[in-house]
Structure 1
Amino acid sequence: MTSLSICVYCASGTDDPSCLELAAELGTAIGRRGWRLVSGGGNVSMMGVLAESARVAGAHTIGVIPKQLVHREVADTEADELVVTDTMRQRKQIMEDRADAFIALPGGIGTLEELFETWTAGYLGMHAKPVVLLDPIGHYDGLLDWLDGLRTRGFVGSGALDRLIRTTEVEAALDACAAAAAGGNRG
């Protein structure tokens, strides 16, 4: 199978044990598949656990962090590649360019912003890469209900909502990434 680069968006501030365990499980699974991890380049909270777990399991890790966040998120200096950008926009572009697929874990406004931009770009045909929402703890339930309400009122089309792959299981999230790549959906 082709070695994929998976960009993961997640929190850099929570200490919730279930979220940290999820990040560790995903990082380990990416590494076991022999894939690469593209992340936000921080070594704290979920972001740090994700990257460290991926490395321990054999993944090549690529961290992308704006210079303003190098000290705030404590840059992942153990990354195989650490790219320091001038702006958040550059960070997101490099992450998108280096990824074959995207997975969003529980997170806050930064994670939401990254998820929505990537998801929207895919829906608009700017890329054909899968966008997966991995949420076994119900973190995004309220958001998904709200989005369904937007669909009902005609603000969001069903095609846009269908473009977001939702799962509660790590292996299912990675399988969705692999299936999309195998189907020629790498953009």
Structure 2
Amino acid sequence: MRLVTVFGSSQTKPGTPAFAEAYAWGRLIGQAGFGVATGGYNGAMEAVSQGVKELGGLVVGITAPALFPERDGPNLHVDLELPSASLLTRIERLFDVGVACLALPGGVGTLAEILAAWNLNYLAWRQGRPTKPLGVHAGWLEVIRPGLEVAPEHLALLTPIASLADLEEFLARL
């Protein structure tokens, strides 16, 4: 089963609009026939995992036990846990296992994941190699915008996801 990697906050709480949105993203990923890879913990990662799992999709959690010793392991929806020794290894594995990457709202950790994936795509683009589809929740565009040395063509490596219809369109192109 092909996987879509989803980056998202571990702080997202059940019963919140952000949790419901992450769950809806997971359902659409599952309906499109994909499994999911996430950081494997709670919050948005759990919501996405639940949505995919309910539709029979494979859920891979790429965890980092040494970085997060206070966490009790992966969320209940994870079928396969792949522990990573470091943050950078974790992000690299998340990027590598998916046919595409998506990013929900989140904090510094989610931003680091977006920037790493974006940078890997930027390097591939500069070298004339294929890039991996990278969809980001439209809210991230308030943070990531042209300026300094970020040109509009660099932003074109990101696909804004402003609605579930945008997500469906993104997934249909994979």
Once residues 6 and 170 of structure 1 are traced to their aligned partners in structure 2, the CA distance between those partners, rounded to angstroms, is 16
Q: 2:49 maps to what in 1?
A: 51
Q: Distance in 1 between matches of 2:45 and 2:72?
A: 9
Deviations 1:68-92 (A, max 9, x none): 2264374225411111111112211
Structure 1 stretches of 5 or more lacking a match?
A: 182-187
CA distances 1:36-82 after superposition (whole Å, capped 9, x unpaired): 1010011x221111111210122111100011226437422541111
**Alignment RMSD (CA, Å):** 2.0
Aligned to 1:113: 112
Q: Percent identity?
A: 21
Alignment equivalent of 1:60, drawn from 48, 58, 63: 58
Tell me the residue number matched to 1:6: 4
Q: Structure 1 residues 98 and 70, CA, compared in 2 at 3 Å: closer, same or farther?
A: farther
User: Size of the alignment, in residue pairs?
Assistant: 168
Gaps of 5+ in 2: none
Change (3 A) 1:73 1:12: farther
Gap change, CA 1:128 and 1:141, over 3 Å in 2: closer
1:157 counterpart residue number: 151
Q: CA deviation at 1:171?
A: 3.8
Distance 2:112 2:69 in 1: 19
Determine which structure has the larger helix proportion and give its number. Answer: 1
The alignment's TM-score, normalised by the length of structure 1, stands at 0.81
- CA separation of 1:116 and 1:127: change in aligned 2, threshold 3 A: farther
Aligned partners of 1:124, 1:73: CA distance in 2, in Å?
Answer: 36
- Following superposition, the deviation at residue 14 of structure 1 comes to 2.7
Alignment of 1:16-165 (within 5 A): 17-42=16-41, 44-68=42-66, 69=68, 71-72=70-71, 74-125=73-124, 128-135=131-138, 139-144=139-144, 147-148=145-146, 150=147, 155-165=149-159
- Aligned-pair CA distance for 1:178: 3.7
Distance 1:13 1:167, change over 3 A: same
CA spacing shift, 1:38–1:174, aligned 2, 3 Å: farther
Change (3 A) 1:73 1:164: farther
CA distance in 2, matches of 1:75, 1:99: 19
| Residue type at the aligned position of 1:131 | L
Amino acid at match of 1:19: A
Q: Contact 2:141 / 2:160 at 8 angstroms: preserved in 1?
A: no
Contact 1:31 1:58 in 2 (8 A): yes
Identify the residue that residue 184 of structure 1 maps to in structure 2: none
CA contact (8 A) 2:65 2:73 kept: no
Q: CA-to-partner distance for each residue in 1:109-156, whole Å, 9 max, x for gaps?
A: 000000011011102217511110123xxx435314xx23x0xx5x11
